[in-house]
């Protein structure tokens, strides 16, 4: 018998329609599980697209065997409202196959930082799922000084380059932090050009040069807070020397 919480599966798929993974656990063997999941993928693929009935609903769906076990990977693009229908079709195919086990969402591990959307100011990045033993992105050099009395709220990796990004938050401005970086051996160059983000957050930005790498440091406050912010941030981008 296949165990599942259909409502929870549909809610998970609706929450992340373009990057959902459903794992089939506690099955007799991977071959049996994969055959059942391939049937489920075919059932989902047979659902017509709501806007183009001659095309399938999912942008992509496939059964894959990975480190987490046999899994159904789905990309519904922007059609979160179709999640209950997709889950019902997959479960119907799995039930028809007679596969036992438990179908459940694959949820990513909690990030090793306290995520704050105010610090999400860069594009073309992915989130780092782990930090090194120092509690920093691994591209940051030995001895790199994090800001004092601050909470890390973001760690990211550029998709197309080697630089990584970290951001911290506290309730008072990071006015002393550029000098901390200078003491570490960084040369800082003030960026005088302004953009809309810098204006809305009171941001000051310096380019960084150091024997071990280069990048930037940006000090700012929460978006649109004017002259009376409650939260302040510092953002460091670091590209290691090649």
pLDDT of amino acid 95: 97
pLDDT of residue 225: 64
Measuring CA to CA, how many Å separate 209 from each of 77, 142, 188?
41, 15, 7
Report CA dihedral (92, 94, 98, 104) to the nearest 10 degrees: -120
Span 139-159, average pLDDT: 96
In this structure, what token pair is assigned to residue 217?
A: 């440091």
pLDDT tens digits, residue range 2-61?
999 999 999 999 998 988 999 999 999 999 999 999 999 999 999 999 888 898 999 999
Burial 52-73 (b: 16+ CB within 10 A, else e): eeeeebbeebebeeeeebbbbb
Question: So what's the pLDDT on residue 242?
Answer: 76
According to the model, what pLDDT value does residue 172 have? 95
Phi, psi for 9 (deg, rounded to 5): -65, -45
Is there a contact between 58 and 45 (Cβ–Cβ < 8 Å)? yes
Could you read off the pLDDT of 61-94 as tens digits, one per residue? 999 998 889 999 999 988 999 999 999 999 999 9
Supply the pTM of this predicted model.
0.62
Digit-coded pLDDT (tens) for 36-46? 999 999 999 99
């Amino acid at each position: 018998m296949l165990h599942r919480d259909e409502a929870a599966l549909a809610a998970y798929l609706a929450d992340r329609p373009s990057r959902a993974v459903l794992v089939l656990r506690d099955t007799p063997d991977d071959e049996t599980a994969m055959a059942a999941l391939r049937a489920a993928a075919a059932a989902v693929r047979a659902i017509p697209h709501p806007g183009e009935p001659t095309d399938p609903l999912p942008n992509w769906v496939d059964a894959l065997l990975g480190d987490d076990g046999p899994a159904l990977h789905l990309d519904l693009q922007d059609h979160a409202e179709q999640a209950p229908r997709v889950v019902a079709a997959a479960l119907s195919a799995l039930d028809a196959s007679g596969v036992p086990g438990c179908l459940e969402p694959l949820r990513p591990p909690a990030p090793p930082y306290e995520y704050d959307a105010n610090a999400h100011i860069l594009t073309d990045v992915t989130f780092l799922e782990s930090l090194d033993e120092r509690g920093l992105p691994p591209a940051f050099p030995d001895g790199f000084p994090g800001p004092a009395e601050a909470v890390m709220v973001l760690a990211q990796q550029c998709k197309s380059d080697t630089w990584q990004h970290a951001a911290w938050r506290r309730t008072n401005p990071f006015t002393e932090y550029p000098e901390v970086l200078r003491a570490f051996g960084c040369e800082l160059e003030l960026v005088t050009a302004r953009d809309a983000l810098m204006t809305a957050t009171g941001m000051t930005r310096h380019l960084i040069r150091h024997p071990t790498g280069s990048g930037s440091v940006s000090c700012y406050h929460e978006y649109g807070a004017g002259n009376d912010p409650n939260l302040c941030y510092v953002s460091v981008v670091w590209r290691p020397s090649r």
